Amino acid sequence: MTQAIVAIPETTNNPLVTEGQLLWTSADLELMPDNSNRYEIINGELYVTRAPHNKHQDTCGNFHYELKAWSKVSGLGYAVIGAGLIFGDNDDVIPDVIWMSKEKYAALIDDTGHFRGAPELVIEVLSAGTDNEKCDREVKLKLYSSRGVLEYWIADWQAKQIQVYRRENGILKLEMTLFATDTLTSPLLPDFSCLISQIFE
């Protein structure tokens, strides 16, 4: 379950204030407990997600496997699972899977192993719950669109379908919805091809 919280711990120094609300920043994440929850900040709001369903994790692993295998053969880039993306002090997220070219990887990775900028491709696998779905379908879609992500795939392991968003006229727009009998390809990934059924095995 995702829960958005707009607040600041009392121990945080110099919190940002917008429209009377205290906003979370990347520095606040250092104060979070080391547990199984995932903490993300989008537009200054803290989103807390509990450990997901095993099928969610299987789906993430299958995406990563297919993209990593293709990347090794093509030599064009890297697939990373559970990577930290820091777009700024108020936007610090952990997508399920990302893919980026070698050039982007070298330019964006920092000394802590996080990426400071947008990869070419971001994948989010839906977790159960209205709040979780709203976060991936609306909040993160808007974030990734505004930050320059070229493609955004939203995978629904329960319905066994993938929505593919591609950048058009400066924003991410829904290009297609793929089902179990379809094949996943991308102009970002020359000759990459994967049956949707393999992703949801």
76 with 103, same domain: the answer is yes
**Nearest CA among 83, 88, 73 for reference residue 122:** 83
Same domain, 67 and 134: yes
Both 29 and 65 in a single domain?
A: no
Domain co-membership, 135 together with 195: yes
Please give the Cα distance from 84 to 112 (Å, whole number).
10
39 and 8 fall within a common domain: yes
Q: Are residues 136 and 37 in the same domain?
A: no
Tell me: do 22 and 109 sit in the same domain. Answer: no
Domain boundary among 49, 66, 87: 49
Write the pLDDT tens digit of every residue in 63-75: 999 999 999 999 9
Domain boundary among 49, 64, 81: 49
Supply 195's token pair: 């049956």
For residue 92, give both structure tokens: 């610090």
For the entire predicted model, the pTM comes to 0.82
| CATH code: domain of residue 111 | 3.90.1570.10
**Do 43 and 71 sit in the same domain of this protein?**
no
Domain boundary among 49, 64, 79: 49
Return the pLDDT at 177.
Answer: 98
pLDDT at 19 over 80: no
Residue 32 has pLDDT above 80, yes or no: no
Do 16 and 91 fall within a single domain?
A: no
Tens of pLDDT along 119-149?
A: 999 999 998 788 889 999 999 999 999 999 9
- 41 and 21, same structural domain? yes
78/70 Cα distance (integer angstroms): 9
* pLDDT class of 11 with cuts at 50, 70, 90: very low
Residue 121 · residue 98 · CB < 8 Å: yes
- Predicted pLDDT at 128: 79
| Residue matched to tokens 């993306």 | 85
167 and 148 together in one domain: yes
Q: Which residues of 134-162 are buried (b: 16+ CB within 10 A; e: fewer)?
A: ebbeebbbebbbebebbbbbbbbbeebbb
Q: What's the pLDDT band for 16 if we cut at 50, 70, 90?
A: very low
Note down the domain range covering 37: 2-49
Band (4; pLDDT cuts 50, 70, 90): very low
Residue 103: pLDDT band (50, 70, 90) is very high
Question: How many domains is the chain partitioned into structurally?
Answer: 2
Residue 85 tokens read as: 């993306």
Tokens 């299958």, residue?
62
pLDDT for 55 beyond 80: yes
Q: How far is CA 81 from CA 78, 122, 173, 175, in A?
A: 10, 10, 24, 24
d(C-alpha 89, C-alpha 161), whole Å: 33
Q: CA-CA distances (angstroms) from residue 138 to 25, 33, 52?
A: 21, 27, 19
In terms of domains, do 60 and 139 share one? yes
For 32-88, where are the alpha helices, taking DSSP H only? 54-74
pLDDT, tens digit, 9 for 90 and up, residues 174-189: 999 999 999 999 999 9
